[in-house]
Amino acid sequence: MSGTQDIIPAEQNSSEIVQSDQTGIDENEKQQVTQNPEQLTPAQKMDNLLRGSSSGYLRKEIEKLRKESARYRIASKTEAAQKLEVMKKAAEVQKELDMLKESNRNLKIMRALDKAGCIKSDLVSKDIPLDCEDIDEFIKNYKDANQFLFKNPPESIGSTFKTSGTKNLTPAQRMDAFIRAAAGR
């Protein structure tokens, strides 16, 4: 047996296996190498490569392995280039996403300031810290501290009750109002 561990079936007697003193490969394996090198185990192929038992076969095998490794190197380089391209696109998308998040945050702040009655909401929005968690509470405290930046909400002096004009009308007047409403006048 070689430096690698080969598993020998239990059906073979140990007397059938003849070990070679120099190579470590039994006689049956030597015959297999010369007869059909394609059916070798990886350990047997490695032993053949190390010992150089059949040079023509080994040269073909080495050339095949070189071509395969070249294919893998080329594939690896193209995959690395594609990965780099995808990473660049991902960085651009992340940058755009961060800009959109900031814009969305600014719009939320502007809307809350406008709702609170701020006169210069674009200037006041810069005073709100980035790590502010409760914007409404901050705006309320800011409004109390800086009354001159906020206008007072309009006060309703009179009632907003509108009487229905059709309740006190005669049937003929109701019909006229209905026709006028249908005609869009």
**Residue 176, domain member (yes or no):** no
Give the residue, 13 or 152, on which the prediction is more confident: 152
Query: Does some domain include residue 4?
Result: no
List C-alpha distances in Å: 81 to 78, 88, 90: 5, 11, 14
Q: What is the mean pLDDT of residues 10-24?
A: 40
Q: What is the mean pLDDT of residues 148-163?
A: 68
The one-letter amino acid code at 22 reads Q
Statement to judge: residues 42 and 100 lie in one domain = no
Residue 16 lies in a domain: no
Whether residue 15 lies inside any domain: the answer is no
Q: 51: which 2 tokens? A: 């010992």
The lowest-confidence range among 15-24, 44-53, 106-115 is 15-24
pLDDT band, residue 40 (cuts 50/70/90) = confident
Residue 144 and residue 76 in one domain = yes
Within this chain, do residues 103 and 32 fall inside the same structural domain, yes or no? no
Same domain for 86 and 138?
yes
Domain shared by 101 and 135, yes or no: yes
B/e letters for 132-143, b = 16+ CB within 10 Å, e = fewer, are eeebeebbeebb
Residue 176 to residue 181: CA distance in whole angstroms: 9
Query: Is there a single domain that holds both residue 73 and residue 121?
Result: yes
Which pLDDT score, from 0 to 100, does residue 39 have?
78
71 lies in the same domain as 44: no
The boundaries of the domain holding residue 72 are 67-149
Co-location of 41 and 93 in the same domain: no
Domain presence at residue 81: yes
- What is residue 175's predicted lDDT score, i.e. its pLDDT? 87
* pLDDT for the residue numbered 65: 87
> How many domains does the structure of the chain reveal?
2
Q: Is residue 174 part of a domain?
A: no
78 lies in some domain: yes
77 and 36 in one domain?
no
Confidence band, pLDDT 50/70/90 cuts, at residue 33: very low
Does residue 49 sit in the same domain as residue 114?
Answer: no
pTM: 0.42
Within this chain, do residues 77 and 133 fall inside the same structural domain, yes or no? yes
Tell me: pLDDT of 7 over 70. Answer: no
pLDDT tens column, 139-151: 888 888 888 888 8
Please check whether residue 12 lies inside any domain of the structure.
Answer: no
Least Cα distance to 135 among 97, 106, 100, 101 occurs for 106
The verdict on 82 and 139 lying in the same domain is yes
